[in-house]
Amino acid sequence: MNTAVVLMAYGSPNRIEDVPAYYADIRGGRPIKPEHLADLVARYQRLGIEESNPLNEITEATRSALEAELGLPVFTGMRHWNPRIAEAVQQALAGGADTIVGLVLAPHYSSLSIEKYRAQLEDALDGRAELRFVERWGDEPGFVALLAERLVVQKHKHVVFTAHSLPARIVAEGDPYHDELLATARLVAEAAELEDWSFSFQSESPTGEPWLGPDILDHLDELAANGVEDVVVCPVGFVADHLEIRWDLDVEAAEKAQELGLRFDRIVLPNADPAFVHVLAGLVRRAAAVPSAG
Ligand code: FEC
């Protein structure tokens, strides 16, 4: 058996000029309002995307550390930017892989998230190698322990677990995303022995339909009204510092907390921390050892 790993991430534009094409990819051909594009460009500009691109850099650091730990070739495939998932598959096949482990750097399954990565991977693979796909890993003990460790010193504060929101219609469609997020939050809260915690969504997109809530900004209002003074955010649906963390939490939510007189902090994300890479390596080893059903 000749195994390679395709490590998948959301992807991020490297330059400001890339933002329109990147946004168009995310929208999948649906129209973009000029004011929404201008707003996105402004966010990337404020974060200094030209000087450094956290998501793509952290993904590369994770890829190379995972490759070193596994002793297997690991190729990065981005869902919305370069290198694309199809390029990663091409590289893996060119290197002689007959078995590919697909792992997404997002822990919770949704038809609008993990399933989209899988579709790109399967299309590119087109049956040319065996696929062993890791569908979800939000309850992986090493991941739970890693987040819990980051909260132990903050355990007397109110902890808000967060994840990317998705259109609310997924609940009626039976999508397990919301339940899986809450399960991770509960496991981490238990492991860190938290006294007071809640869950909210973040990073809703202006797509014109209702999204899952409460949104973190409304949730902060509610917490302040209930007398909470100290908030620490623990994102469970993201594993790296990127726009949704550095803008939506570090700028937007932090400003809102300041207006409300709340002390506001967040945990350091797993990024390419060796302990996190070790968790990913365990997921790959297990998937490589066990052929997936179907
Ligand atoms: O740092 C960066 O440059 C990229 C950060 C980034 C991550 C990310 C993760 C997730 N998203 C998920 C779902 C959606 C859905 C839509 C959507 C839209 C955007 C836009 C940007 C963006 N997302 Fe994202 N997401 C990131 C960035 N996302 C930029 C477009 C502008 C905006 O809304 O602000 C709506 C698509 C549509 O319009 O139809 C749905 C989910 C995740 C977490 C899982 C994962 O990482 O794959 C779910 C990182």
* pLDDT tens per residue, range 105-124: 999 999 999 999 999 999 99
- Judge whether 104 and 8 are in contact, CB under 8 Å: yes
Task: Return per-residue pLDDT of the chain as tens, 294 residues.
Answer: 899 999 999 999 999 999 999 999 999 989 999 999 999 999 999 988 877 788 889 999 999 999 999 999 999 999 999 999 999 999 999 999 999 999 999 999 999 999 999 999 999 999 999 999 999 999 999 999 999 999 998 889 999 999 999 999 999 999 999 999 999 999 999 999 998 999 999 999 989 999 999 999 999 999 999 999 999 999 999 999 999 999 999 999 999 999 999 999 999 999 999 999 999 999 999 999 976 544
Q: What is the pLDDT of residue 292?
A: 53
pLDDT of residue 9: 97
Pair of tokens at residue 180: 């899986």
The response to whether residue 269 sits with its C-beta less than 6 Å from ligand 1 reads no
Q: Is the CB of 111 under 6 A from ligand 1?
A: no
Q: What is the pLDDT of residue 294?
A: 42
In the sheet where 130-133 sits, what is the strand order? 74-78, 3-9, 99-104, 130-133
Atom number, ligand 1, closest to the C-alpha of residue 104: 47
Task: Tell which one of 39, 62, 178, 203 to mutate to probe ligand 1, the residue whose CB is within 8 A of the most ligand atoms.
Answer: 203
User: Which residue owns the Cα nearest ligand 1 atom 9?
Assistant: 10
CA nearest ligand 1 atom 3, residue: 12
Q: Running DSSP on this structure, what letter comes out for residue 84?
A: B
- 113: its two tokens: 């998230």
Question: Which atom of ligand 1 is nearest the CA belonging to 39?
Answer: 34
Question: 99 CA distance to ligand 1 centroid (A)?
Answer: 29
What is the distance in A from the centroid of ligand 1 to the CA of 10? 7
Ligand 1 center to 289 CA (angstroms) = 32
